[in-house]
Amino acid sequence: MESKLYVGNLSYSTTEEGLRAAFAKAGTVVAVDIIKDRETGRMKGFAFVTMGSEAEAQAAIQALNEKMLDNRQIKVSVARPREEQPRGGFNRTRRF
């Protein structure tokens, strides 16, 4: 079963190909999703990497967490499920 990893503290010069190559050493990389700002298109400094199995994800964490990539010490951990956020126009929690 596939396992998604959070990769933080990335350099703004890190590319999808660079991440894929680094994580491929630990196993099969299914997907790389670099998170970018909607307005500027600039990378936000983190990404998600989906590995082929849970064992490969654990191997990637062991091999890459707190290691240097593009002159930055990256953080690698199991990605947490996305939390639902309320949608709407104005700030609905505003109190008068």
* CATH code at position 18: 3.30.70.330
Q: Is residue 94's pLDDT more than 60? A: no
pLDDT band for 83, please (50, 70, 90 cuts): confident
Asked if the structure places residue 72 within a domain, the reply is yes
Q: Is residue 85's pLDDT more than 70? A: no
76-83: long-range contacts, CB 8 A cutoff, minimum separation 24: 76/5, 76/6, 76/7, 76/8, 77/5, 77/6, 77/8, 78/3, 78/4, 78/5, 78/6, 79/4, 79/5, 79/6, 79/48, 80/6
Asked if the structure places residue 93 within a domain, the reply is no
pLDDT, one tens digit per residue, over 28-48 is 999 999 999 999 999 999 999
Q: What is the extent of the structural domain holding 32? A: 3-78
Asked if the structure places residue 44 within a domain, the reply is yes
Q: How many domains does the chain have?
A: 1
Asked if the structure places residue 17 within a domain, the reply is yes
